[in-house]
């Protein structure tokens, strides 16, 4: 009998309909479409309507992921929502998703690790499945960041967008189709670099250059740790799904690893930085367009406030 492990069985995503372009931002703050595109790679982002909550996006993404996995809500043992912008402190957003889906058997909780939230939730769910506590887990990265932004602060408001991405993680007995390994970490001594002291009561604040330096140093480091531990070289990885924070971070990581940029999918130009949602949204786009082939090696990598970071090696 093979060892029990976990695999991604389905993906889904949901984005608000409203588009906010760089040109429109020019009317709000002292910025330009050219500056934003050159410094970040972002052209536009999606913005949730006033009454559109993190849970609404999460529910829509989760429904698609369940359908894609050919499972019903009744099959789900846990729902984990990775978010730093929950609808409310209590109840948690995962419980709101459960109620909407009628996932009556699920245990539901939120997990906050900012832009690393999806990776941390994936590792948590993987551990539940490997320990025999669960067979199917719904993991959703969902954010409503626009409501936390100071729309007079050009250093932050141009970067972020709203959205949700979901995966169903299911039990697997084959390492050919499985999550293979994780490398995760945190450094709370650098918590001041990216902050939001109280959701709906304060604004997101960021030392952009510090975050940038942290990302371009830490991401290649954890990717190399993960590949070396699994006797792979970076070239043998087919795809690197990095958190979508800034196109220059993707370019810099690719350069430091001496890899072609076309191994690094990106949708930054359309959605900006959607924090915990960015990796599952991108994964869903690639899965849906049949770009991911069975057996391909994939690395997911998240990094962000906390500071936090995490990578996962997958055999698709
Ligand atoms: N439009 C026009 N000018 C802007 C601007 C904007 N939106 N934002 C900043 N500037 C100006 C600055 O005021 C500064 O002007 P000065 O030289 O007259 O003081 C100049 O552009 C350069 O600012 P700087 O902060 O050095 O720019 P940068 O190249 O570091 O780019 C970020 C800023 C925020 C785009 C970049 O640091 C970044 O992406 N960091 C990572 C952020 C991130 O990923 N956060 C989430 C992590 S999960």
Which 8-state DSSP code applies to residue 62? Answer: H
CA distance 123 to 111: 12
CA distance 139 to 124: 10
Lowest mean pLDDT among 43-47, 142-146, 195-199: 195-199
Q: Which of 37, 164, 149 is nearest to 97 (CA)?
A: 164
User: How high is the pLDDT of residue 28?
Assistant: 95
Examine the residue annotation and report whether 70 is marked as an active-site residue of this protein. Answer: no
Examine the residue annotation and report whether 102 is marked as an active-site residue of this protein. Answer: no
User: How high is the pLDDT of residue 90?
Assistant: 96
Q: Residue 31 CA: which ligand 1 atom is closest?
A: 1
**What is the pLDDT averaged over residues 193-197?**
94
User: How high is the pLDDT of residue 198?
Assistant: 78
84: exposed, middle or buried (Cβ count in 10 Å: 0-12, 13-18, 19+): buried
Confidence of residue 202 (pLDDT cuts 50, 70, 90): confident
Secondary structure (DSSP) of 217-259: HHHHHHHHHHHHHTT--GGG-SEEEE--S-HHHHHHHHHHTT-
pLDDT greater at residue 199 or residue 258: 258
**What is the pLDDT averaged over residues 132-160?**
97
User: How high is the pLDDT of residue 3?
Assistant: 86
Confidence (pTM): 0.97
Q: Identify whether the C-beta of residue 286 lies closer than 8 Å to the C-beta of residue 20.
A: no
CA of 212 to the centre of ligand 1 (A): 10
Q: Which residues contact 45 (CB under 8 A, 6 or more apart)?
A: 19, 20, 160, 161, 162, 270, 271, 272
CA of 35 to the centre of ligand 1 (A): 9
Q: Is the pLDDT of residue 1 over 70?
A: no
Q: Ligand 1 in contact with 155 (CB < 6 A)?
A: yes
Q: Identify whether the C-beta of residue 149 lies closer than 8 Å to the C-beta of residue 203.
A: yes
Residue-averaged pLDDT of the chain? 97
Q: What is the pLDDT of residues 7-41, one digit of tens each?
A: 999 999 999 999 999 999 999 999 999 999 999 99
Examine the residue annotation and report whether 95 is marked as an active-site residue of this protein. Answer: no
Q: Give the CA radius of gyration of the chain.
A: 18
Is the four-CA dihedral 242, 244, 246, 251 of positive or negative sign?
positive
Q: Which of 137, 141, 78 is nearest to 113 (CA)?
A: 141
Q: Ligand 1 in contact with 251 (CB < 6 A)?
A: no
**What is the pLDDT averaged over residues 212-221?**
97
CA distance 286 to 290: 6
């Amino acid at each position: 009998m093979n060892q029990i492990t976990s695999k991604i069985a389905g993906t889904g995503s949901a984005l608000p309909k409203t588009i906010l372009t760089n040109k429109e931002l020019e009317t709000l703050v002292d910025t330009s479409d050219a500056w934003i595109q050159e410094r970040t790679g972002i052209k536009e982002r999606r913005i949730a309507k006033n009454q559109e909550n993190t849970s609404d996006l999460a529910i829509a993404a989760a429904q698609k992921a369940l359908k894609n996995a050919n499972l019903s809500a009744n099959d789900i043992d846990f729902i984990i929502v990775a978010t730093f912008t929950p609808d409310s402190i209590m109840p948690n957003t995962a419980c709101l998703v459960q109620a909407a889906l009628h996932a009556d058997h699920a245990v539901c909780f939120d997990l906050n690790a900012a832009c690393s939230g999806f990776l941390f939730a994936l590792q948590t769910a993987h551990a539940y499945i490997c320990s025999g506590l669960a067979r199917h887990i719904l993991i959703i990265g969902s954010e409503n960041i626009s409501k936390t932004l100071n729309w007079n602060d050009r250093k932050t408001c141009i970067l972020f967008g709203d959205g949700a991405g979901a995966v169903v993680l299911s039990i697997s007995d084959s390492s050919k189709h499985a999550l293979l390994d994780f490398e995760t970490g945190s450094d709370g001594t650098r918590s001041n670099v990216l902050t939001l002291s109280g959701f709906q009561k304060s604004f997101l604040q960021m030392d952009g250059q510090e975050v940038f330096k942290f990302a371009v140093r830490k991401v290649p480091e954890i990717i190399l740790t993960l590949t070396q531990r699994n006797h792979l070289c970076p070239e043998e990885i087919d795809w690197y799904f990095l958190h979508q924070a800034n196109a220059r971070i993707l370019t810099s990581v690719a350069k430091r690893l001496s890899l072609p940029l076309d191994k690094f999918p990106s949708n930054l130009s359309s959605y900006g930085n959607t924090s915990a949602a960015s990796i599952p949204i991108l994964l869903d786009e690639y899965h849906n367009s049949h770009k991911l082939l069975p057996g391909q090696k994939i690395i997911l990598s998240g990094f962000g406030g906390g500071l936090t970071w995490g990578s996962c090696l997958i055999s698709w």
